[in-house]
Structure 1
Amino acid sequence: MDEIINPDRLVSVPFNKTRCGVDFYINTAINKDIGLVLTENKRFKTDFFSFYFFRKANGYLLLNFRKIELRDGMVLLLSPHQQQEWHVDETALDYTFLIFREDFMRTFIADKFFVFRLLYCYQTDTPPYINATHDEMKEYMRLLGKIKYELMNPVSDTYNIIVSLLYYLLLIINRTYAAAYCLPAEIAKNNFAFRFKDLLEQNIRTHQRVQEYADMLHVSRITLNNSVKAQFGVSATHLIKQRLLEELKNELLFSNRTVSEMADDFNFSDPSHLMRFFKQQTGKTFTQYMTDYNKGIYE
């Protein structure tokens, strides 16, 4: 990570193959190999997925506006562009990490919506972690060890083998995640739900109605809702509101935008409509929410 001047500002950390010492946009190692990187910057976000397999943990992580207490045996599953603020004693941590960029798999896996099929990616309703059993952690470490071996001993088919190992690892974690949070794990009959999640990430600031997304996908509102319900267990309207609320909270806490500017940014016709939506979803006004956050009351 690059040196910063203002330790309070949000730092964007890109995947750096040279610094990671690898030829691909993926790496895995134990924390002892990389030093104290989690607290090097007070607040940062990345352009890659970051998974942490904790053998020994302490403290907590502020992920966007949520507080996550870290525990032994936890597998933490972080998506790109999430704001991270680690409150830990790094010298007492013991973990293996896996980091990779989404485009690392694109050459091998033609499904461009693959990450949206993973229930823990870009999730707003359920926590971004699972608690692994001894046997589950042992299997994760076995697969990560194979990935590390290929990275350290690259040959002509190394890329294909690493992607295959990563693909399998992501799917077995997804199966465990679905069971842990009682989420649907059906085989999708179509891609509408996953395409909807993709569009949601791109357009949440300007489009907040189910019909708008149905029009983008050239399907009926009913078809879209049925697809989303079957795949994620909630309605399309629910996903839109939760994703919008997530974006609003981050903007409120970590930008200098006024309520009027936020209303314009998020396509609300009037600031009062924005404040009413926020109060309906959180039970708090903007001021109450910010006051609670500054007092250490996190959600």
Structure 2
Amino acid sequence: MKTVKFNKTECGVDFLINVINGADVALEYLLPSVHNADYFEILIFRSGNGQLLLDNKLLQIEDNTILFVSTFQRKKWNVALSALDFTILIFQEDFLNEFFTDKLFTYRLLYFYQHDYPLILHPTHEQIQSIYNILAEIKSELVQPNLDSAHIIRSLIYYLLQRLNREYALQNNLPFQIDTSNHAYEFKRLMESHIKEAKRINDYCKLLGISRITLNAAVKKQFNLTATELLKQRLLTEIKNELIYSDKTISEVAYEFGYAGPNHLMRFFKNQTRMTTSEFLAAYQKGIN
């Protein structure tokens, strides 16, 4: 699988962030084969026609659509290039975390590392135009930087990301208050790197150095889910991706995730989806064809 990498030299910018006119890079970025990237993407479509297969979910691209893609998410595009008018905001995680002096910044945004709700927004035409204006300001500072450009970019990107976070929360009826303890965000961060070997809440409590009660209270307050529910969501997404994108057998996938045998994995999968793994794969193939 191809991994597209962020390249400052090719992008012609000094920061690990860029605003790109979609018409200039459509063939390079909207690949019809399965691929991923080492950066985050927010794609803003004024005009759109097609679909994005993102991990195991199919997203419809229409006029006035915003898509959110996290690092290394598997994706595959099926779009009418001639019908597209869009702009892409891309950035690497380290850029945001260092830019805002917050290693958990990307985990505070509801649309990144999201495994339950669709990674899409449908704003109005006026909202889209407002976002385009902000992106134009950011781009201007990137291509012609001044001594104060970093401060201006920081304020613009922070405002834009938080504004989108609010809209995403409202669209999906999600809480978006700040977790001052950071336990909920640390839990999300740890799941991204440990999900295959750590499948129990107690594993994460040990990593965080807190009690199960403390973790569950923080996650419930921030995401309106129990810690167990959030962990099961993340685990299910990872298993689905392995089933779809790898050539491994069920036994091999079960072994990779530390299950005692394939029956244990299949029982978990059936409990979460009400489908067997075979039924899921059949429905997936039917949905994308």
**Is TM > 0.5 for Structure 1 vs Structure 2?**
yes
Q: Normalising by the residue count of structure 2, what TM-score does the alignment of the two structures yield?
A: 0.95
- Asked if 1 retains the 8 angstrom alpha-carbon contact of 2:12 and 2:143, the reply is no
In structure 1, the residue corresponding to 2:287 is in which secondary structure?
coil
How far the C-alpha of 1:165 sits from its partner, in A, is 1.3
54-63 or 13-22, which deviates more: 13-22
Please name the residue that 1:294 is paired with. 285
**Alpha-carbon deviation of 1:210?**
1.2
Give the drift of 1:43.
1.5
Q: Note the alpha carbon deviations across 1:131-184, whole angstroms, 9 max, x for none.
A: 112332222112101101001111223223212211111001101111111111
* Partner secondary structure for residue 98 of structure 2: coil
Distance, in Å, in 2 between the alignment partners of 1:260 and 1:171 is 43
Mapped to 1, the partners of 2:249 and 2:31 lie a distance apart of: 31
Q: 1:202-227, CA deviations, whole angstroms, 9 ceiling, x for partnerless residues?
A: 11101111121112111111110010
- The whole-number CA distance in structure 2 between the counterparts of 1:35 and 1:239 is 35
1:176 equivalent among 163, 167, 174: 167
Contact 1:228 1:236 in 2 (8 A): yes
* SS at structure 1 position matched to 2:13: coil
User: Which of 164-173 and 21-30 deviates more?
Assistant: 21-30
Q: Which residue of 67, 92, 104 corresponds with 1:101?
A: 92
Q: Does 1:282 align with 2:273?
A: yes
Deviates more, 1:89-98 or 1:30-39: 30-39
Q: Indicate conservation of the 8 Å contact 1:11/1:41, yes or no.
A: no
CA–CA distance in 1 between the matches of 2:283 and 2:97?
Answer: 42
5+ unaligned residues in a row in structure 1: which ranges? 1-9
Counterparts of 1:201-212 in structure 2, within 5 Å, are: 201-212=192-203
More helix by share: 2
Contact 1:53–1:76 (CA<8 Å) still a contact in 2? yes
Post-superposition offset of 1:35: 4.1
Q: Give the Å deviation of 1:41.
A: 5.0
Instruction: Give the deviation of 1:263 after TM superposition.
Output: 1.4
Kindly tell me: are residues 49 and 183 of structure 1, through their superposed partners in 2, closer, same or farther at Cα, counting changes over 3 Å?
A: same
Structure-1 residue corresponding to 2:13: 22
Measure, in 2, the Cα distance between the counterparts of 1:210 and 1:260. 24
**Contact 2:96 2:105 (C-alpha < 8 Å) held by counterparts:** no
If the length of structure 1 is used for normalisation, what is the TM-score? 0.92
- CA-based RMSD of the aligned residues comes to 1.5
Q: 1:127 is matched by which residue type in structure 2?
A: P
Worse-matched range after superposition: 15-24 or 240-249: 15-24
- Is 1:43 paired with 2:34? yes
Worse overlay, 83-92 or 278-287: 278-287
1:247-298 C-alpha deviation (Å, 9 max, x unpaired): 0011011111122221111011222101111111112222222222222369
Return the alpha-carbon distance in structure 2 between the equivalents of residues 248 and 188 of structure 1: 29
Q: Does 1:166 align with 2:157?
A: yes
Are the equivalent residues in 2 in contact too, given 1:38–1:90 (CA < 8 A)?
no
Q: Classify the secondary structure of the residue corresponding to 1:115.
A: helix
Q: Distance in 2 between matches of 1:172 and 1:138?
A: 14
Instruction: Identify the range of structure 1 (63-72 vs 278-287) with the bigger mean alpha-carbon deviation.
Output: 278-287
Contact 2:96–2:106 under 8 Å retained in 1: no
Is structure 2 residue 132 aligned with structure 1 residue 126?
no
Runs of 4+ in structure 1 over 3 Å off = 38-41
SS in 2 for 1:189: coil
**Cα distance in 1 for residues equivalent to 2:228 and 2:217:** 12
Answer with 180-189 or 156-165: which moved more: 156-165
In the alignment, which of 108, 122, 126 is matched to residue 135 of structure 1? 126
Name the residue aligned to 1:5.
none
202, 213, 238: which is aligned to 1:247?
238
